[in-house]
Structure 1
Amino acid sequence: MRLSRPSTYFCAFLTLLNDRLGESIVFPLLPFLLASFTSNGRTLGLLAGSYALAQFAFTPLIGALSDRYGRKPVISFCVAGSVLGLGLFALTVSINWQAIPWAAGSSIPLTLLFIARLIDGVSGGTAATASAVLADISPPEKRAKAFGLIGVAFGLGFILGPALGGLLGRINVTLPVLLAAVIAAINLALVLVLLPETHPIEARISLPRRRELQPLSQLAKVFGNPQVRRLCLAFFLFFMAFNGFTAVLVLYFKQAFGWGPGLAAAAFLVVGVVATVVQGGLIGPLVKRFGEWRLTLGGLGLVICGCLLITLAQASNAQGVVFSAVAILAMGTGLVTPCLRSLVSRRLDDSGQGAALGSLQGLQSAGSFIGPPVAGLAYDTLGRTSPFWLGISLLAGVALLVAGGLPGQESPTPKAGS
């Protein structure tokens, strides 16, 4: 195939890598970047959730636009949005606003930071469109191998992002954000120069009706299916809990233990390494040995244990306890996410797969923008450890939903020997 040349794969891979890298560089450093503007959990939670909110609202439209107008213009727009969003964020945190008489003490810096995150979220359809490029250039029998690039790029992004952020953050906390913006700019230049259009004109389709692009209507469909309603609720609550307590995690490390950017980023580096190992190499053999249902419940137990450990950490033993805790959290999440998706898939016949599984991304985004503000509010009003206890409560509810099976169906307990 003419389009299956190395430059096409390289551009798709770099776009997927940039999608994860920009987020994983900036996220662990948010409390340090916001230190001169605010120190409360509510603002941090809202800022963390704003990206997911914009992504939730616009991802269906981004996907439809790529089917209608082609992959290259949509990817170019999305990466340009990342450059603009990250660039505005980097510029805002680099300026000494207190030295500007008319801006000192105003809400201008925080407003610009929210605008930057929303821009980055609106243009966050890069991963879906880059995945569509891989599907365009790969015959059906080679698609699984091509899609393996997605996992490699995401895993590498989750490892390199905290590593680079931690190293540069020790020098100057704004340097990692500048690096993220530069990487996005390089990504944009390479996409404009090297990426061909992979979606031929004859294969393009008209934009769907406006109602079909509304993310809430897509979620209503999946919750209207009794076969997967319970598991989809569990999926939503899991990401609400997980993204909630992780949004305030670094703020907790900073205020409870006096950690700086290096240690905070190192904790997320552990998460990236462990999650990549679990999802990249261990998940297949573990599913064959134990089945998705048991692994989902076991993974939830690990996440709960990780949260408990964090609440028990003291300043004198923080490093050992916290690094153990985040490793356990990463192991649990690496098990829950793919196994819960698989459980949803197994409850459906072939005709219902596309709509339901596609809506899981919407559920993940919805949980990701609701969880952080709720956790931030709890952090400020109920105490520093309250987001972790709230997360534990939600995760216990998720475990009950998964363990209870589905109404009118047999228990999902694996058969002997499975």
Structure 2
Amino acid sequence: MRAVETPRGQDQPPGSLDRPRVLLLTYLLATLEFSCLFMQFSVMPYLARSLGLDSVAFGYLQTTFGVLQLLGGPVFGRFADQRGARAAFTLSFLAASTLYLLMAAACSPALPGVVLLFLSRLPSVFMHAMPAAQMVITDLSPPEDRPTALGRLGLCFGVGLILGSLLGGTLSGMCGTHCPILVALTANLLGAALSFTCLPANTKGPTPQGKPKAGVFDLKAITRLLLLPGVLPVFLVKVASGFPSGLFMVMFSIISMDFFQLGAAQASYLMSYFGVLQMVIQGVVVGRLSRRFSEGTLLRASVLIFTAVGLGMVLMSHVSHFCLLVPGLVFSLCVLNVVTDSMLTKAVSASDTGAMLGLCASVQPLTRTLGPTLGGLLYRRFGVAVFGHVQMAVNLLVFLTLWGQPVAHRRGKSQ
């Protein structure tokens, strides 16, 4: 199975690619990575507890993961732009394989488990299958179809969330904590092999001749993208509008136990509810809405619904109330992420889409880095309602800003 007829290592013009096959393989690889990631998330607390880590040490472990992903996102995006889809996916899967190998080693009583568990976070600096997949989809999709194509990644994420959580819980219950980790290791090695043998080396157009090529670690080339017309306002909206809900989701495991009084099984059902809604909304609803409404209109709608959900979170007192708010929360998150990613990739040249998506991919790790500390302090001092107050206030301010000054963006520049 080979998507390109030329020998490996040679660039292939995007116009001659078997685009449907490359896109299908990209979606499959993204689903594989998400499934393994959620398998890891489902067993990580139990592995950490078995190694004697308390909640504070576990928070340090999670923060380390977030910081490394935050730092690695923009650099990985530059690497993907310069080395191509094949190299980007292969690097991401090999990094994930190293992470799971170290986690598996940490399960052995004969080895220093805590040290290996913290060392296993280091390869996460290169684990960025999502921006790699977004770059391929952006490169191979015309601007008018880009929100729909990017939205289909929500199906991959939803399948990964449900399948990974289910497999992680089932396999660890039947065979022990090490079992899902070994399955994830095997799956990522398979993903690396498929990426190296089946993906094209290049999904972009020809590189302009005579243009100096900045290095992968050139921070000026990365920050320069934020100064392009129409980029910084959209990026700031993406960060500011999504941060309050991200803060709540970082604390959700604690809130579900303390405030909602849910057991492990009930919490997993609620996460599956999240996954199904994301699959439907991002995979189907967002694409249809993007064909009927402009991206600016959808962006304002997502921010406005965020504000209403924040008000609902202030008033909620039971898990059933939260279940009624989840569709609005998931809808706003999906629309915000898809629309801003689409707008930002249209505002830069085709040769910089990977770096731009790498910057976008750093938003979530930023939340995971600041969230545990900030969210824990807010929750301890003010309770669950504070997350609703923050979300309502921040998004109302963002909505008033967007209403008074429409976000401008250029269409079709990346093609």
Q: TM-score range by the shorter chain?
A: 0.7 to 0.9
**CA positional deviation for 1:16:** 1.4
What does residue 279 of structure 2 align with? 276
Q: Aligned-pair RMSD on alpha carbons?
A: 4.4
Q: Kindly, what percent of the aligned residue pairs are identical?
A: 20
What does residue 394 of structure 2 align with? 398
SS in 2 for 1:283: helix
Tell me if the contact between 1:9 and 1:134 (Cα under 8 Å) persists in the aligned partners: yes
Tell me if the contact between 1:22 and 1:161 (Cα under 8 Å) persists in the aligned partners: yes
- CA displacement 1:383-418 (0-9 Å, x = unmatched): 458585554344234313322235984699xxxxxx
Matches within 5 A, 1:370-389: 370-378=366-374, 380-381=376-377, 383-384=379-380, 388-389=384-385
Tell me if the contact between 1:169 and 1:175 (Cα under 8 Å) persists in the aligned partners: yes
Matches within 5 A, 1:65-76: 65-76=79-90
Structure 2: runs of 5+ lacking an equivalent: 6-16, 409-415
Structure 1: runs of 5+ lacking an equivalent: 413-418
What does residue 161 of structure 1 align with? 164
With over 3 angstroms needed to count, the CA separation of the structure-2 counterparts of 1:304 and 1:168, relative to structure 1, is farther
**CA positional deviation for 1:367:** 3.8
SS in 2 for 1:24: helix
Alignment coverage as a number of residue pairs = 386
User: What TM-score, normalized by structure 2, do the two folds share?
Assistant: 0.72
What does residue 82 of structure 1 align with? 96
Tell me if the contact between 1:243 and 1:367 (Cα under 8 Å) persists in the aligned partners: no
Tell me if the contact between 1:306 and 1:329 (Cα under 8 Å) persists in the aligned partners: no
Question: Quick one: distance in 1 between partners of 2:380 and 2:130?
Answer: 34
With over 3 angstroms needed to count, the CA separation of the structure-2 counterparts of 1:338 and 1:155, relative to structure 1, is same
- CA displacement 1:339-382 (0-9 Å, x = unmatched): 4556x66xx9x765779987764554444334334432246555
With over 3 angstroms needed to count, the CA separation of the structure-2 counterparts of 1:261 and 1:114, relative to structure 1, is farther
SS in 2 for 1:198: coil
Tell me if the contact between 2:63 and 2:369 (Cα under 8 Å) persists in the aligned partners: yes
Question: Quick one: distance in 2 between partners of 1:142 and 1:292?
Answer: 15
Question: Quick one: distance in 1 between partners of 2:341 and 2:303?
Answer: 13
Give the residue type in structure 1 aligned to 2:256: F
**CA positional deviation for 1:295:** 1.6
Matches within 5 A, 1:79-228: 79-92=93-106, 94-96=107-109, 109-119=113-123, 121-132=124-135, 150-171=153-174, 172-192=176-196, 194-195=197-198, 197-199=200-202, 203=206, 208-210=213-215, 213-214=218-219, 218-219=222-223, 222=226, 224=227
With over 3 angstroms needed to count, the CA separation of the structure-2 counterparts of 1:365 and 1:65, relative to structure 1, is closer
Question: Quick one: distance in 1 between partners of 2:157 and 2:43?
Answer: 19
What does residue 364 of structure 2 align with? 368
1:38 to 38, 42, 53: 53
**CA positional deviation for 1:249:** 1.5
User: What TM-score, normalized by structure 1, do the two folds share?
Assistant: 0.72
Question: Quick one: distance in 1 between partners of 2:315 and 2:43?
Answer: 22
